[in-house]
Amino acid sequence: MPKNLEAVIDIAAPPDRVWAVVSNLKRMPEFSPQCVRMLPLGAPKAGTWVLNLNTDGKKYWPTTARIVRYEPNQVFAFKINENRSIWSYTLEPTEHGTRLIERRDVPNGVSWFSRRSINAALGGELPFEEELVRGMNETLGKIKTVVEAHN
């Protein structure tokens, strides 16, 4: 059964500076090792559709998503239509900047098709989820580097 996943990093910059990077969906391929392309169909806001192209380095697959939360300087979340997972970036102000939390939530599990695809093509749920957590930590590390470089 898929589980919720989380990665956290502290960034020495205020939430508005972190938000400027996190909310720019076209930049996500710079940070995420799995994201090849993220294309919002219109201005990002709750309800906006997003087209995605993902990779594990060998295989590629498209997904579609809908932004479900878009609260500037606080939270950005989108739901992947194909597997029902919800990905979010939450920004929390700290004494020295911002805590950025990336989560993958699966409140209703993932679809049967997604589970079968992960098992057949991506090595099974456990290795796939371990790779997702590695990717989440890599993504947050790269976002931190970019944001802090512009301090």
What is the pLDDT at residue 120? Answer: 47
What is the pLDDT at residue 73? Answer: 97
Which one-letter DSSP state was computed for residue 10? E
Distance CA 13, CA 151 (A): 7
Question: What Å distances lie between residue 67 and 47, 100, 120, CA to CA?
Answer: 5, 18, 28
Q: Does residue 134 carry a pLDDT above 50? A: yes
Q: In what order do the strands lie in the sheet with 86-94?
A: 5-11, 97-105, 86-94, 75-80, 60-71, 49-55, 35-40
- Using a pLDDT cut of 70, give the percent of the chain over it: 83
Q: Does residue 3 carry a pLDDT above 90? A: no
Average pLDDT, the chain: 87
C-alpha closest to that of 90 among 2, 3, 11: 11
Polymer length of the chain:
151
Count Cα neighbours of 118 within 13 Å in the Cβ-side half-sphere: 19
Domain that holds residue 85: 5-149
**Quick count: other Cβ atoms within 10 Å of Cβ 95?**
5
Q: Does residue 75 carry a pLDDT above 90? A: yes
* CATH number of the domain enclosing 126: 3.30.530.20
Q: Does residue 22 carry a pLDDT above 70? A: yes
Specify the residue for token string 């060998």. Answer: 58
Counting the structural domains of the chain, the total is 1
What is the pLDDT at residue 83? Answer: 80
Q: Does residue 125 carry a pLDDT above 80? A: no
Specify the residue for token string 């990077």. Answer: 21
Q: Does residue 107 carry a pLDDT above 60? A: yes
What is the pLDDT at residue 4? Answer: 83
